[in-house]
Amino acid sequence: MAVQEPIGDLARKWLQQDHDQVTRKEIQDFLASNDEVELEKRLRKRIAFGTAGLRSSMKAGFAHMNALTVLQTSQGLATYVLDQHIPSSLAVGERLSIVVGYDARHNSEKFARLAAGAFVAQGLTVLWFGQLVHTPMVPFAVNRYKAAAGVMITASHNPKADNGYKVYWSNGCQIIPPHDKGIATAIDQVEVISNWDETTVDSSPLVQRIFPDATDAYYSCLRRLVPPPHKAQTASFTYTPMHGVGLPFMKQAADMLGFRGDCMHVVLDQAQPDPEFPTVPFPNPEEKGALNLAFAEADKHGCTIVLANDPDADRFAVAEKLENGKWHQFTGNQMGVLLASYIFETYPHDRSKLAMLASTVSSRMLASMAETEGFHFKETLTGFKWLGNEAKSLQALGYDAVYAYEEAIGYMFAGVVWDKDGIAAAAVFLTAWQRWQTQGLTPWQKLQQLYKTYGYFEDANTYLISPSPDVTEQVFTSIRAGSLPTTIGKRRILRWRDLTVGYDTADTDGKPDLPVDSTAQMITCELGDVVFTARGSGTEPKIKLYIEATASSSAEAKQRADEVLQDLLREWFRPEYGLRLAGT
C-alpha cells in the first residue's frame, strides 16, 4: 500500500503552482491554522474529470473549481487533442482549433479566458465568442468550424457556488469513453502551468472572434428546423431565463417566429444575468416554486403559457394554465412526447427512416409511439453525451435521427446541434403550439389525445439526498448482497439490469444491452406495468429514482408508480441509511 503524501506537502505543492492570490490565501490560512481536516478535503483528491468534464464548488484546492484546476485541465486537454490528430492530416499552415464559451456565473469569464490562454500557449487556435452564450452555441460552433474540441464554462442549473468545465469532441457531441479517461490521464501529467495571462485572448493572433457569424448561422439552422410563419402571431406567453443567458437568444427566436411586440412577456426580476440567482434557491425550472414569479407575471397579462430556460439555456420547461385555473407544469417526459408528436406528424420524408431517441430513465411512451407508428426508436444511457453520439451512429446507418430527449427537461434537435438546446426546444414548442391551436387544442389537450392513442404513462420520479458517496455505494452494495431481490412489494421483478456490475437477466448470456460503468451505480427493474431505475448522480450527492407506470387511465398509472416508490423507500432506501427524500 502506497504511503500517503503528508497534507502539509500537498499544501506547499499547491502554493508553488497557484498564482491566484485569493485561492492562495485560502490554503495559506488553513496551513497557518493547521486545519488538516479542511486541507484534506481541499487537496487530497483531485476534482474528477469525467464524461461531464468538471463540476464542483468554487474554492481553493485540487478538489474544486478554481484557476489552477481550470488551467491544468486546459493544458491536459490541449495535449490530448494534439496527440489525437496526425500532423500530416493538416494542410500547410493549418492549426487545430478549440471553441471556448462561457455563461454568466461567478468566474465563468475568468475561467474561459484562462482556458483560452492555455490553448494558445499550446499552439491551438481559439474560436472565441467573447460574450455570454447559451451552452448549445459551443457544440454548434464545433460543427460549423470543424474544430477539434469545444469547452463551455458553466454549471448549468447548479447552485450559485458551483461552476463547471464542459468538453465537446470534434463531432459536436459531449465526450464519451475513451476520451474522458485519455484527457484525465493527460491532466494528471501537467506539472507546470505555461500561461496565467487572462488577457491573451485580447491580443493573440491565434484567437478568432466568432460570435456574429456563429449566431447568424445558428438562427439559419433554426429557420430550417421551424420555418417562420407568413403572418405575425397574436397569442402571447410569459418567459423567464431564470437569471441566466437565455433572454437575447429567446427574443430573437420568438421574433423569428412572429411573436413580436407584446406577445412575449418577460419576468423582469429574472430577466438579466445574475450569478447570485436572488429569486430562486436553485436556478432550475424543475424545482418546486421556481416558476412562481413567472406564473404571477402570466396571470397579470392573461397568459396561459409559461416558458422557462435554466441559466445556461440548454434546458427548457413549459407550464399551462388549465381550465380549472391551476397551473400544470409539464414534466420532461410529457414535453418530450409532445415535441416528438409534432416532429412525427410534420415529418416530410419516409417515416421508416425517421429515428428518435430517449435515455433509459425517460418515459417508455416514445418507444410505444415508435412501435405503433413505425419509426425507429433507440434507448441510450443517461445523458446527452450518449444520446448525441448514438444519434450520430444512427445517422451513419442511414437513419434520420432528428430528435432525442431526456426526462430532465432536455431536448435535442439534430438539425441544429447534437446536444440538448433550450432555445431550439422553445422554437419547436412555439411552432407546435400554433399548429395545435389551429386544431382547437391546447398543449394539455394534445397530451391527453396522445395518451388515448398510445396509453397512459405516469411517473413518480424523485431523488434522495445522500450523506456521502460512501453511503450511496453502501446502499447499492446492500441491495445486491446475497441473492438478488425477486420482488418489489407485491410485484415480481421480471427483468433485472445492473449497469454497474454488468448483468442483465433479459439475455441468456447475462450481458446488458447498454454500456457498463463500474464507477456509476445504476439498476433498472421491469415489473410488468411499472419500470424503475435507481442510480447515483454523477454531479450531485443524490440517489435518483425514475419510476414509470402504464395503465388504462392516468390516475391508475400514477397510483401504480406511487406504490412502487413507497415500496422502494421501505425495502431498498431505508431510513437508517440517513437518506433524505427530496422536499422533506
Task: Determine the topology of domain 458-581 in CATH.
Answer: TATA-Binding Protein (3.30.310)
Q: Is the pLDDT of residue 92 over 70?
A: no
Residue 257 banded pLDDT, cuts 50, 70, 90 = very high
Q: How confident is the model at residue 89 (pLDDT cuts 50, 70, 90)?
A: low
CATH code for the part of the protein at 45-85+93-209? 3.40.120.10
Supply the mean pLDDT for the chain.
94
Question: What does the block give as the cell for 251?
Answer: 427574443
- The pLDDT score that the predictor gives to residue 299 is 97
Radius of gyration, alpha carbons of the chain: 24
Q: Where are the alpha helices (DSSP H) in 18-158?
A: 21-32, 36-43, 67-84, 108-121, 137-144
Instruction: Compute, in degrees rounded to 10, the torsion defined by CA atoms 324, 329, 335, 341.
Output: 10
What pTM was computed for the model?
0.94
pLDDT at 213: 98
CA distance 338 to 317: 12
Contact 422, 309 (CB under 8 A): yes
- Burial class (CB within 10 angstroms; exposed 0-12, middle 13-18, buried 19+) of 232: exposed
14-68 residue pLDDT tens: 999 999 999 999 999 999 999 999 999 999 999 988 767 899 999 999 999 999 9
- pLDDT bin (cut points 50, 70, 90) of residue 326 is very high
- 414's grid cell: 439534430
User: Beta strand pairing status for 522-526 and 487-488?
Assistant: unpaired
Do residues 307 and 236 lie in contact, with contact meaning Cβ atoms separated by under 8 Å?
no
Are 452 and 175 in contact by the 8 Å Cβ rule? The answer is: no
CATH of 217-329, one of 3.40.50.2300, 3.40.120.10, 3.40.50.12710, 3.30.70.1060: 3.40.120.10
Spell 520-538 as b/e; 16+ CB within 10 A means b: bbbbbbbbeebbbbbbbbb
Q: What is the mean pLDDT of residues 551-566?
A: 96
- Predicted confidence at residue 507, as pLDDT, reads 87
Peptide bond into 515 cis (omega under 30): no
C-alpha cell at 381: 444511457
User: Per-residue confidence at 88, pLDDT binned at 50, 70, 90?
Assistant: low
How many other β-carbons are positioned within 10 Å of the β-carbon of residue 400?
A: 20
Write out the catalytic residue numbers.
Answer: 156
**Nearest-angstrom CA–CA distance, 312 and 137:** 10
DSSP 8-class letter at 58 = B
Q: Measured between alpha carbons, how far is 443 from 434 in angstroms, rounded to an integer?
A: 10
- Burial group, residue 40, by CB count within 10 angstroms (0-12, 13-18, 19+): middle
Q: Label residue 226 exposed, middle or buried (CB < 10 Å: 0-12, 13-18, 19+).
A: buried
CA atoms of 432 and 450, how far apart (whole Å): 14
In the chain, where the domains are located: 45-85+93-209, 217-329, 458-581
Q: Which residues is 319 bridged to in the sheet?
A: 306, 329
With residue 555 as reference, give the H or E element that holds it: helix 554-571
Question: What pLDDT score was predicted for residue 2?
Answer: 60
Amino acid letter, 319: A
Residue 233 pLDDT greater than 70, yes or no: yes
pLDDT at 573 over 60: yes
Q: 226: which 3 cell numbers?
A: 421551424
Residue 539: its pLDDT value, please? 66
| Residue 67: Cβ-neighbour burial (10 angstroms; 0-12, 13-18, 19+) | buried
**How far apart, in Å, are the Cα atoms of 334 and each of 443, 470, 493, 524, 527?**
10, 34, 26, 21, 22
Lowest mean pLDDT among 82-91, 529-538, 548-557: 82-91
Specify the pLDDT at position 64: 96
> pLDDT at residue 584 above 90?
no
The alpha carbon of 264 is separated from its chain's Cα centroid by a whole number of angstroms, namely 26
Residue from 432, 460, 425 nearest 548 by CA: 460
**Rounded average pLDDT over 534-551:** 89
